Amino acid sequence: MSEWWTYSLRDLLLFSPQTYYRMFELYNLECWPLQLFTLAAGLAILGLWRRGGSAAGRAMAAILALGWLWVGWAFHGHRYATINLAADFYAWAFALEAVLLLWLGVIRGGFAQTTSAKMQQRAGLGLFLFALLIFPLLAPFMGRGWAQAELFGLAPDPTALATLGVLLFAGARPYWMLFPIPVIWCVVSGATLWTMESPDFVIPLLAALLAVAGAGGLAGASRRDAQA
């Protein structure tokens, strides 16, 4: 696109807010009753973290990887791509994150270890619980109804937020390679919501900010642990 820098974000929005949110409604109908499984999977992540140990850490990473793979394929590839020309790229990015989670989290087993960065751990836990339990309430709270709720493991925003949360509370050291895609997605989603004048645009942006700051804290803690 020539002179792309002269376009505002609003000029690049291809769809109306009605179409965007209705997409979640149709997607939820199509996925039902998968919502129950993804909620259970989210709670299972918490249980596995509490249990601790290498096997539990690998299982947590596997659940997250499955979520990213599903969102990439089912949401971006088959739903969002019908209204957004960029959604195919998003699908590939989500698939890549799934592969990274499998590699670093499942094969190399980096999750569920203890960390000395307690503040980051609490922030991560809060972010994860918000993504799992509060995020689905945003749709009805903002007058869009339950049918348009966005859930962890099915919709991209809560999946990205929950993953960032897990990376903060269950990683002994930050796996830098796991952060960029969810953080970038949060920025993309925040920008999309902003152009649609949706007041919840701040949520993914704040989550991205929290994750980046938390990752910085984790890196410091990791260095201290190594020196000690």
Binding interface with other proteins (CB under 8 A): 1-3, 6-7, 10-11, 13-16, 18-19, 22-23, 26, 79, 82-85
Of the candidates 20, 63, 13, the residue with the CA atom closest to the CA atom of residue 40: 63
Please check whether residue 210 is in contact with residue 167, taking contact to mean a CB–CB distance below 8 angstroms.
Answer: no
| CB of 22 or CB of 173, closer to other proteins | 22
Cα within 13 Å of Cα(2), Cβ side: 0
- Closest by CA to 11, choosing from 3, 22, 20, 21, is 3
Indicate the residue among 26 and 55 with the shorter CB distance to other proteins: 26
User: In the complex, what is the shortest distance from the CB of residue 30 to other proteins, in angstroms, rounded to a whole number?
Assistant: 10
Q: Least Å distance between CB 3 and other proteins?
A: 6
What are the tokens at 216?
A: 């910085």
CB-nearer residue toward other proteins: 23 or 218: 23
**Least distance CB 79 / other proteins (angstroms):** 7
**Tokens linked to 200:** 């919840």
DSSP letters for 64-76: HHHHHHHIIIIII
**Could you give the CA distance from residue 50 to residue 48 in angstroms, rounded to a whole number?**
5
Pair of tokens at residue 185 = 């997605």
Nearer residue to other proteins within complex by CB, 149 or 181: 149
Nearest distance from residue 95's CB to other proteins, in Å?
Answer: 21
Q: How far is the CB of 82 from other proteins (least distance, A)?
A: 3
